[in-house]
Structure 1
Amino acid sequence: MTYTPLDRPEHVPRVFVEAWNRRDARTLAAIFDEDADFINVVGLWWHDRAAIERAHAYGLAHLFDRSTLRLLRVKVKPLSEDVAVVHARMHLTGQTPVAGIARPQPRTNLFTFVVHRVGEAWRCAAAHNTDVVPGMETNVIDETGRLRAVDYRAAP
């Protein structure tokens, strides 16, 4: 399989998406430094490439085995010639059914990748994935301990 070359910062999220859609956790993890950090949408935090690969291999086999990830928008903020922050908006469809939810609906997420040049290639030192919750401003934990997205503007 051929992948987009990692010769530009904006190619990091592109290769992430290509590897995701091919269920290729090894290539997905290979865009990360050995000691990279990855925080997923619920705050699980992996501290190295091997943990990132294990987590994604499990996720792509069980949680997202029918999913498609689509890259919607990429914005690069160079911090120096060799360091950049890359934001990428993505759209996920086809998540595996779970907990009585027969057809999980599409989700949009926003990734932040901190990338740096290693020779001629770009690698990721840290990534954070956040779900986009349309119309909401923040999260709160209610009296039962349940985390809920809320909009203070719409609150009575």
Structure 2
Amino acid sequence: MTRTYETGEDVTLAFFDAWNAKDLDGLADLFVEDADFVNVVGFWWTTRRQIRKAHDYGFRKIFQEARVEIIALKSRVLGNDVEVVHTVSTLDGQTDENGITAGQRTAVITIVAHRQREGGFRIVSCHNTDRVDGADTHLNTDAGFRPASYQTG
């Protein structure tokens, strides 16, 4: 049975709970069928099925022991049926390509939630961005892709 979420904030919190539980079906159920999801490296998935498949891969290969924790949340109601929810979260326990636990990451995740005809909010769009403290932008040079700061002194 599909759970009903009364607000965009409720469905956002459910996303983090499902992610931490590695609950693929529960996570996928939070999204509308033609949802969009952009991950931290710019992969753009455009269906619930693709979102589920990508998270399945991530939970098996990258985030087996990882947990996310919301440290800030702001919801903006755009009408009776649409909310934009911004979160700042930390991620701990990710492993690298060799299975070694990596350091903590901080992300800004933006979720757009829409009230469905049958009631309750579902996610129509999610965008996940890594925060790089001290950086103003990224540069792609001959030496590679890296964060950059233009601030002096």
TM-score (norm. length: structure 1): 0.90
* Cα displacement string for residues 29-78 of structure 1 (whole angstroms, at most 9, x for unaligned residues): 11111000100000001010000000001101110001011111111111
Alignment partners' CA distance in 1, 2:89 and 2:119: 26
CA distance in 1, matches of 2:150, 2:12: 33
User: Which segments of 5 or more consecutive residues in structure 1 lack a partner in the other structure?
Assistant: none
- Tell me the number of residue pairs that the alignment of Structure 1 and Structure 2 aligns: 150
Deviations 1:107-148, CA, capped at 9 Å, x for gaps: 11011111111143111111100001011111010114x210
Cα deviation, residue 149, structure 1: 0.5
Q: How many angstroms apart in 2 are the aligned matches of 1:97 and 1:72?
A: 24
Q: For residue 10 of structure 1, give the secondary structure of its aligned residue in structure 2.
A: helix
Identity %: 37
CA distance in 1, matches of 2:21, 2:60: 11
Corresponding residue SS for 2:151: helix
Structure 1 outlier segments of 4+, above 6 Å: none
On the 8 A contact 1:72/1:90 being kept in 2, the answer is: yes
Contact in 1 for aligned 2:4/2:119 (Cα 8 Å): no
Map Cα deviations across residues 69-118 of structure 1 (whole Å, 9 max, x no partner). 1111111111111111111111100002325x833101110111111111
Taking structure 2 as the reference length, the TM-score comes to: 0.91
Match of 1:49 in 2: 48
Q: Unpaired segments of 5 or more residues in structure 2?
A: none
Establish whether residue 96 from structure 1 lines up as the match of residue 78 from structure 2: no
User: What is the match of residue 59 of structure 2?
Assistant: 60
Tell me, yes or no, if structure 1 residue 72 matches structure 2 residue 71: yes
Aligned counterparts, 1:2-151, within 5 A: 6-98=5-97, 102-118=100-116, 119-144=118-143, 146-151=144-149
Deviation at 1:5?
5.6
